[in-house]
Amino acid sequence: MSLPTPGDILIIEDTVSLALLYKSQLEKQTHRADMCETGRAALKATESKTYDLILLDLGLPDMDGFDILRTLRDRDYGAMVIVTTADGALSRVIEAMQLGAADYLVKPFSEARLLTTVNNTLERQSLAKTVSNIERALPKRGFHGFIGQSLPMQALYATIGNVAASKATVLITGESGTGKELTAEAIHRAGRGENTPFVALNCGAIPRELFESEMFGHRKGSFTGAISDYDGVAKRAHGGTLFLDEVCEMEPDLQTKLLRFLQTETIQPVGAAATEKVDVRVVCATNRNPMEEVRAGRFREDLFYRLNVVPIDLPPLRARGDDVQELADYFLDRYGREEGKDFTGFSDDARWQLKRRPWPGNVRELQNTVRQIAVLAAGGTIEARMLPAPMHTQAPPAAQALYAPQGPATDRTQTGAQTGTQADAPYTDTAAGTGAPLDGGWSGELEAVVMGGTLAEAERMLIETRIRSCGDSIPRAARTLGVSPSTLYRKREAWEDRPEDEQASTS
């Protein structure tokens, strides 16, 4: 039987002889053990060293063992705790478990019992760390309020996770609607936590004459209308995070005061004689280009560098790929429940319309669009025609290619001529998203079918033409038509199963 992985263990036991016995037994299995006789000494030891496991006697002379459990939990210390007690009352064991203890031992206990309990607890801890590491390595579907698993968002999640525990100032840039305040809240929750204040101030929405008071507070009688003392956002955010949105819109003299606040971590309310120390993590955001503001003389260069310690540039929605569809599904479900309607999702054509739109207003625009759909639609599947204009007026790729006007044959084969043969022509999407060119040898027949045939005939001719144009590759043809390969396979099987006389009308 292999020995367990060695662990660093802290023994908190006021009976020295027992502590020495436990230490000797644990070190036989290559564990490393330290001893403390009092609760205060133990808490001090945990401040300077990280232990894997703590063996805690609940009956200490200077401190209740439950108080130590509460302190370790509040500090999020991370070590597994096994409590030892001479009183095996079930109520005490339950209370210890509720405070975070992993297991318990009732005195007196044997060496085998001690080693089995310690080794099993360390093994569970090791397994939990392995699972956590695997989860961190896997793509995240969401993160602290964000939705999306595209590569740009994975990079954003990693950055937020890396900077969350730091006190360094963060400057968030990006287009309007990309989620700057949500990013600030994610940094706050991942770092200082839900139980500390998160205070936001829109620097562009506060009149210049009121900004200093709103930021730093004021004292009663300091100006007309100051009928009582007022704590500004900097003091209200003490112990937490202060989010300054649209920071580039601050007036120059206010920028100077903000710079002094960042450098000294002190505030002086309007009308106050003394300064006050505050503990605040500052996160700022702007939808302007801060370097251009600095070059134009509208923003202090020294303040920019003080804010830009950790820069985060948010990706626009158009760069997030399939996140558009995932966000649309989330918003449709959310607003459907708010409106008391049962939606089953978006049709393929509607999804294509959502994905192809550039979304200049980013996630905020998409959110408002889906809310409008949820309010106006009765339920069920959202079809392309149910999308707000101009999206529902744009045909999907297959239909655009089918009904696109055909120019002279020399124009249609020009690209192929440049590369040697028509079959070698590159398949590039146009601005309208029409996919690959139709040329594959049947263009004239296709035009005739479009002009005088049925929709089913035109669809089959289009699909067969596109497959031939793509070198008989159905997956490649499906990509250019904006459908899945299985759709084309099913259609070809259906055509093969139809009677010969019925096929003749379309071949």
> What's the confidence (pLDDT) of residue 317?
94
> What's the confidence (pLDDT) of residue 469?
79
| Res. 393: pLDDT tops 70 | no
> What's the confidence (pLDDT) of residue 417?
33
Lowest-confidence segment of 32-41, 87-96, 263-272, 429-438 by average pLDDT: 429-438
pLDDT band at 136 (very low <50, low <70, confident <90, very high): low
Classify each residue of 98-127 as buried b or exposed e, where b means 16 or more C-beta atoms within 10 Å of its C-beta. ebebbbbbeeeeeeeebbebbbebbeebee
Give the residue-averaged pLDDT of 252-275. Answer: 90
3-class secondary structure, 505: coil
Residues with Cβ within 8 Å of 104's Cβ and at least 6 positions away in sequence, in order, are 82, 83, 84, 85, 93, 96, 97
> What's the confidence (pLDDT) of residue 132?
64
pLDDT band at 394 (very low <50, low <70, confident <90, very high): low
Residue-wise pLDDT for 312-361, tens only, equals 999 999 999 899 999 999 999 999 999 999 999 999 889 988 988 899 99
| Count of Cβ atoms closer than 10 Å to residue 419 Cβ | 11
Residues with Cβ within 8 Å of 11's Cβ and at least 6 positions away in sequence, in order, are 19, 22, 23, 26, 33, 34, 35, 36, 55
Residue 171 phi/psi, 5-degree rounding, is: -115, 115
The answer to whether domain 142-315 and domain 323-393 are alike in fold is: no
Q: What is the mean pLDDT of the chain?
A: 81
Lowest-confidence segment of 129-133, 234-238, 269-273, 428-432 by average pLDDT: 428-432
Between CA 243 and CA 192 the distance in angstroms is 13
| Res. 471: pLDDT tops 90 | no
Percent over 90 (pLDDT), the chain: 42
User: DSSP characters for 276-331?
Assistant: EE---EEEEEESS-HHHHHHTTSS-HHHHHHHTTEEEEPPPGGGSTTHHHHHHHHH
Q: Maximum CA pair distance of the chain? A: 101
- Residue 349 contacts residue 399 (beta carbons within 8 Å): no
- Residue 494 contacts residue 486 (beta carbons within 8 Å): no
CATH topology of domain 323-393: Helicase, Ruva Protein; domain 3 (1.10.8)
Q: How far from 173 is each of 50, 184, 228, 298, 336, CA to CA, in Å?
A: 37, 11, 37, 17, 32
Between CA 304 and CA 208 the distance in angstroms is 20
Residue 385 phi/psi, 5-degree rounding, is: -65, -15
| Res. 250: pLDDT tops 50 | yes
| Res. 88: pLDDT tops 70 | no
Measured in whole angstroms, the distance separating CA 179 from the mean position of its chain's CA atoms is: 10
Position 249, amino acid: E
pLDDT band at 497 (very low <50, low <70, confident <90, very high): low
| Res. 498: pLDDT tops 80 | no
User: DSSP characters for 33-76?
Assistant: EEEESSHHHHHHHHHH---SEEEEESB-SSSBHHHHHHHHHHTT
> What's the confidence (pLDDT) of residue 140?
62
User: DSSP characters for 143-193?
Assistant: ETTEE--SHHHHHHHHHHHHHTTS---EEEE--TTS-HHHHHHHHHHHHT-
Report pTM. Answer: 0.54
Measured distance between the N- and C-terminal CA atoms of the chain, rounded to whole angstroms: 74
- Identify the burial level of 433 via C-beta atoms within 10 angstroms of its C-beta, where 0-12 means exposed, 13-18 middle and 19 or more buried: middle
Give the residue-averaged pLDDT of 57-85. Answer: 89
> What's the confidence (pLDDT) of residue 204?
85
- Residue 83 contacts residue 70 (beta carbons within 8 Å): no
Give the residue-averaged pLDDT of 30-47. Answer: 92
| Res. 23: pLDDT tops 50 | yes
| Res. 152: pLDDT tops 60 | yes
pLDDT band at 456 (very low <50, low <70, confident <90, very high): confident
Lowest-confidence segment of 120-124, 261-265, 356-360, 394-398 by average pLDDT: 394-398
| Res. 268: pLDDT tops 70 | yes
| Domain spanning 8-135, CATH class | alpha beta
Identify which of 100, 104, 109 has the alpha carbon closest to the alpha carbon of residue 80.
Answer: 100
Q: How far from 130 is each of 133, 452, 481, CA to CA, in Å?
A: 5, 65, 44
The domain spans of the chain are 8-135, 142-315, 323-393, 397-504
Q: Of the segments 134-138, 348-352, 390-394, 485-489, which one has the largest average pLDDT value?
A: 348-352
CATH topology of domain 142-315: Rossmann fold (3.40.50)
- Residue 19 contacts residue 37 (beta carbons within 8 Å): yes
| Res. 505: pLDDT tops 50 | no
| Res. 426: pLDDT tops 70 | no
Give the residue-averaged pLDDT of 60-70. Answer: 89
| Res. 507: pLDDT tops 50 | no
Give the residue-averaged pLDDT of 430-449. Answer: 42
Identify which of 186, 281, 184 has the alpha carbon closest to the alpha carbon of residue 237.
Answer: 281
> What's the confidence (pLDDT) of residue 283?
96
| Res. 373: pLDDT tops 80 | yes
